[in-house]
Amino acid sequence: MTDNKQLTASEKVRLYLSAMEAGDYETSSALLAEDFVMTFPGNARFTKPEELTEWGSTRYRFVNKTYDNFDEITDGSNVIVYCFGTLGGEWLDGTPFSGIRFIDRFTIVDGKLTDQKVWNDFGQ
């Protein structure tokens, strides 16, 4: 695993998202604060990467992200990272999907991801 202390906030978010896509829970979990919470459309809330994967497995076979941009905002000692782009993947019945817009907002405090808020055109 990369020494994540040397990474920028956007690089940490990208590493987290890549690890999640690969099912690498060791790497993704190492980037999270103890009180990390992720919130998805429909107010679906999770605290561990494995919980998100389990929830997603009832909706689609896989999802991957194509990124348009990462934006960072410093708020005192916190850093807010927005990333946005499109989602592609495959529904449970094997039908492919693509071009679904998303925005993720992360808060990073003391080098750890403390929250993730997700908006996308999947709906609930």
CA distance linking residue 40 with residue 70, whole number of Å: 19
* CATH code for the domain in which residue 18 is found: 3.10.450.50
Structural domain of 109: 4-120
Q: Please report which confidence band the pLDDT of residue 6 belongs to, taking 50, 70 and 90 as the band edges.
A: confident
**How much is the pTM?**
0.89
Question: What are the contacts of 2-8 at 24+ separation with CB within 8 A?
Answer: 4/30, 4/31, 4/111, 5/111, 8/72
75: pLDDT confidence band, cut at 50, 70 and 90?
confident
- Tell whether the model's pLDDT for residue 123 goes beyond 80: no
Radius of gyration, alpha carbons of the chain: 14
Integer Cα distance of 26 and 4 in angstroms:
13
What does the pLDDT read at residue 77?
83
| Model pLDDT for residues 16-43, shown as the tens digit of each residue | 999 999 999 999 999 999 999 999 998 9
Q: Report d(CA 38, CA 2) in Å as an integer.
A: 23
Task: Tell me how many domains the chain contains.
Answer: 1
